[in-house]
Chain A
Amino acid sequence: MDEKPDLIVARGLQKYYPLSRGPFSTATGVIKAVDGVNLTIKEGETLGLVGESGCGKSTLGRLLLRLEDPTGGDIYFEGEAIGGLQGRHLRRLRKKAQIIFQDPYSSLNPRERVRDIVEEPLIIHRVFESRKEREKEVRRLVEAVELEKDHLDRYPHEFSGGQRQRIGIARALALRPQFIVADEPVSALDVSIQAQILNLLQGLQEKFHLTYLFISHDLSVVGYISQRVAVMYLGRIVELASREEIYQRPLHPYTQILLKSIPQPDPSRRGIAPPPSGELPSLFSPPLGCPFAARCPHVSKQCNRQSPVLTEVCPGHSVACFEV
């Protein structure tokens, strides 16, 4: 797996949002949604990105696609710096990198038929000369996501959540991208349907040689589909390792707590772990040192003063913690 080339590399990636507390306030500051992230995604792999709401995982995904402009750091796509791309060059990136959204209800235009939704990217990027070719491609895409041909002329409201997500996937595939950010693609779906969509995504990955960044708050879903997993907390990656390592040998206290907090679907293993106290610190006044210090059971003096850096502790396993 290691010999696979890097598809995406992020170095010191930052996204700070300027903060103003209303039009009459002079208070200023920034919200550090993504704060110095280093990340490499290899060709053909699925990298899972987990974290709780507000930790910056969606912003990071959108930065890698350049749907947000970074305020610092660099992003490379196949070795090319894409952090400052504009206009025509940016449009060329759009063909290579696409996104699947969380909510299949709000991410599809209710006034367009499935045919139009899937065709639109092909029109915008002028992929085909003739209409006929375009229509053939749309049919092929709809087939690839296991929808029926007679679904083409229906509107989104006629579909269930799972089917809508398939439409969203077909649209993301239309430009034959290399890289897809799947932002909580199954969170809005019922468990029995989640697995259908996850299996579809896996099948498509093989068929079209896709690379995924799979964003989710659900560790069991991430563990099912990803080869490597990154755990994010308050804008930073706190742990990054292979799936097996993260689940069997989690090193960062946050990852350990996260794993213990999942209610186990097994009544014979009840309430082993006392729940962690405290909540996510405010993004308005983030802590000086380690972002997790306030909730950490192993906190030391150093943690409150200095911020730990993500360091490799054994091959392929990086942690940002002084106590490891």
Chain B
Amino acid sequence: MNNGLLSVRGLKTYFFTRWGVVKAVDDVDVGLDKGETLGLVGESGCGKSVTALSILRLVPRPRGRIVGGEVLFQGRDLLCLDERQMRTIRGGEIGMIFQEPMTSLNPVFSIGSQVFEALCAHKELTRKESRDKAIDLLSSVGMPDAAQRLTDYPHHLSGGQRQRVVIAMALAGDPTLLIADEPTTALDVTIQAQILALLQRLREERGLAMLLITHDLGVIAQTADNCAVMYAGKIVEYTDVRTLFADPKHPYTVGLLSAVHDLRPIPGTVPNPLEEISGCNFHPRCPSVKRICRKEVPPLISLTAGHQARCWLYG
């Protein structure tokens, strides 16, 4: 783990609500090298999307605040940039794809004008150039009849095609890192397979690094190099993807995998984010809970090179 491209250290993003403080992201470390795909996996509410939003400094304010940590992107701490500098990063060096393609496209503007906008935000282009570039981009994401599509509106397109447009827009600024938050969750399986293959191809062609956020371990297994498992605001396990599936160490990862393979449930439910749990966040659901788990938060323990688990079983 060298993390030349992106290195998130000790990130803490809290939401200050009427009912109390929600520690959505609580001391998270993740990192990516050039060209690497890191899967960030976890169930709803575990903080994986907030991690992505924090990297881009898009956490909804004033309720949400990044209260600690650093986000080093190519050596620069994004948390220290001013808003103007940040805007050149967003959609420029870091592209984004969100889950629901219908909500990331503006329904009252044509596909063309939305792709133009993404292009012109980062480059000085003439009308003709931006049109040609937009057609190029749309064909590179496998959009059929790209030139004719420019005048279409989002509602003319199917879910899969919309997601292709969103991907084209994310690529408009020639990013080195793509953050994809559940890019295929809203799609049917056959379309999901197409989009995953597209992301894989783009990654190879452009040497893109990708932070892929998903709840689907199948998607992780098919696309990621490394994987971080998140639970209740914390990374509980980090390793390369083969080790994760062959030799998971954290009881939560083990439970998650057997839920996927044999549909064996993990007892209990995800903790209420407003309630502070003493010790390990997972201890109320853990089959191998020990006394120390109830009292002290386990650190991320290195097991082998590049394999870490946040569990007292290994401490």
Contact = CB atoms under 8 A, between A and B. Distances in A.
B230 to A, nearest CB: 13
Q: Which interface class (under 10, 10 to 19, 20 to 34, 35 or more) fits B?
A: 35 or more
A219 B188 CA distance: 12
Contacts of A160: 269-270
Given A263-B219, A270-B222, A52 B269 contact: no
Contacts of B267: 196
Contact of A279 (B158, B189, B197, B264): B158
A271 B218 contact: no
A82 to B, nearest CB: 32
Contact of A192 (B188, B200, B256): B256
Interface in A66-95: none
Contacts of A191: 43, 215, 217, 256, 259-260
Contact of A265 (B44, B194, B260): B260
B189 A217 contact: yes
B215 A265 contact: no
A279 B269 contact: no
Interface in A183-228: 190-196, 198-199, 217, 219-221, 224
A175 interface: no
Interface in B257-279: 257, 259-261, 263-267, 269-270
Interface string B105-129: 0000000000000000000000000
Contacts of A268: 242, 245
Given A265-B245, A280-B158, A192 B263 contact: no
B39 to A, nearest CB: 10
B255 interface: yes
B221 A266 contact: yes
A199 B218 contact: no
B33 interface: no
A263 B259 contact: no
A53 interface: yes
B27 interface: no
Given A53-B188, A191-B43, A275-B190, A263 B261 contact: no
A263 B192 contact: yes
B163 to A, nearest CB: 11
**Main secondary structure on B side of the interface with A:** helix
B77 interface: no
Interface in A232-288: 257-258, 260-268, 270-271, 273-277, 279-280
Contacts of B192: 261, 263
Contacts of B47: none
A107 B267 CA distance: 24
Contacts of A304: none
Q: Which of A217, A258, A261, A265 counts the most B-chain CB atoms under 10 A from its CB?
A: A265
A48 interface: no
A163 interface: yes
Nearest to A188: B44
B259 A258 contact: no
Contact of B269 (A193, A262, A263): A193
A168 interface: no
A205 B169 CA distance: 49
Nearest to A262: B189
A56 interface: no
Contacts of B188: 52-53, 217, 280
Given A191-B259, A192-B43, A192-B256, A271 B197 contact: yes
Contacts of B197: 271, 274-275
A279 B160 contact: yes
B143 interface: no
B220 to A, nearest CB: 8
Contact of B222 (A162, A163, A219, A264): A264
Nearest to B258: A195
Contact of A198 (B160, B161, B263, B269): B263
B79 interface: no
A258 B270 CA distance: 31
A277 to B, nearest CB: 7
B193 interface: yes
Contacts of B222: 263-264, 267, 270-271
B200 A271 contact: yes
Contact of B190 (A196, A198, A261, A267): A261
Given A262-B189, A263-B193, A265-B245, A196 B218 contact: no
A199 to B, nearest CB: 6
B173 to A, nearest CB: 27
Q: Which of B44, B200, B222, B259 counts the most A-chain CB atoms under 10 A from its CB?
A: B222
B189 A265 contact: no
24 contacts: A52-B188, A52-B190, A53-B188, A192-B43, A192-B259, A194-B259, A194-B265, A195-B265, A221-B263, A224-B263, A257-B190, A258-B189, A258-B190, A261-B189, A265-B217, A265-B221, A265-B245, A266-B221, A267-B222, A270-B222, A275-B197, A276-B193, A276-B194, A279-B161
Q: What are the 9 A-B residue pairs with the smallest beta carbon separation, nearest first?
A: A263-B218, A275-B193, A195-B265, A192-B266, A52-B188, A190-B43, A196-B265, A261-B193, A261-B189
Interface of A: 52-53, 160, 162-163, 190-196, 198-199, 217, 219-221, 224, 257-258, 260-268, 270-271, 273-277, 279-280
Given A262-B189, A279-B161, 13 more contacts: A52-B188, A160-B270, A192-B43, A192-B255, A192-B265, A198-B263, A219-B189, A264-B221, A267-B242, A268-B245, A279-B158, A279-B191, A280-B188
